A and B are shown apart, each in its own frame.
Chain A
Amino acid sequence: MEIIGFIFICIGILFNFFGCIGLTRLPDVYNRLQSATKCVTLGTCSILIGVFFHFGFTEAGIKAIIAIPLLFFSATVAAHALVKGAYIFGVKLGDKSVKDDYKDVTKS
């Protein structure tokens, strides 16, 4: 059981690493948020699942399971708020962008 938990933790840290590379490499705010939110959230969920496998159905294991939906909803809502805030603040889309349907809504 501990071995399975260890493997889950390794996968989680690998995904966290990818997310952090995306945070430094990608060109503009929206793309950075994409990579960072998805990879880091799933990576941390995977770490928490690993903690659950390590402890089993004890106090700590149940707490790790509770933390997963909490983390999931808070991360998605925070990402949504940040994107909208950045757009209203006036951060431009990057140079490579091809389409922008949201422009008409914010003007009126």
Chain B
Amino acid sequence: MIDYLNILLYVQIALCVFCLYRIIRGPSIADRMVGIDIFGIIVVGICAILSITTKRAFILDIGIAWIILSFIGTLTLAKYLSGKKLNE
């Protein structure tokens, strides 16, 4: 079971390549931000699978913290896009 999960883990890591393609290639700034947002969610999936393969629960804590941090980061970038000051 763990072996199959390891293969799935590598598949999930390989999905990051699509996001990186969009971040590097994206024609406008907004495309890059979409890539960054999706990258954050995929990393949460990696954390969840890692917590099974290594049998350690605290990796899920890292996942939860990552959700919140990526959310705040995306909101900040979106605010920058719409041309407002950050304290509005």
Contact = CB atoms under 8 A, between A and B. Distances in A.
Give yes or no for direct A-B contact (beta carbon below 8 Å). Answer: yes
Interface of A: 2, 5-6, 9-10, 12-13, 16-17, 19-21, 23-24, 29, 32-33, 36-37, 40-41, 43-44, 47-48, 50-51, 54-55, 58-60, 63-64, 66-67, 70-71, 74-75, 77-79, 81-82, 84-86, 88-89, 91
A108 B33 CA distance: 27
Contacts of A33: 34
A23 B5 contact: no
Contacts of A23: 18-19, 22, 34-35, 38
Contacts, number: 147
Interface string B52-88: 1000010011011001101100110111111100000
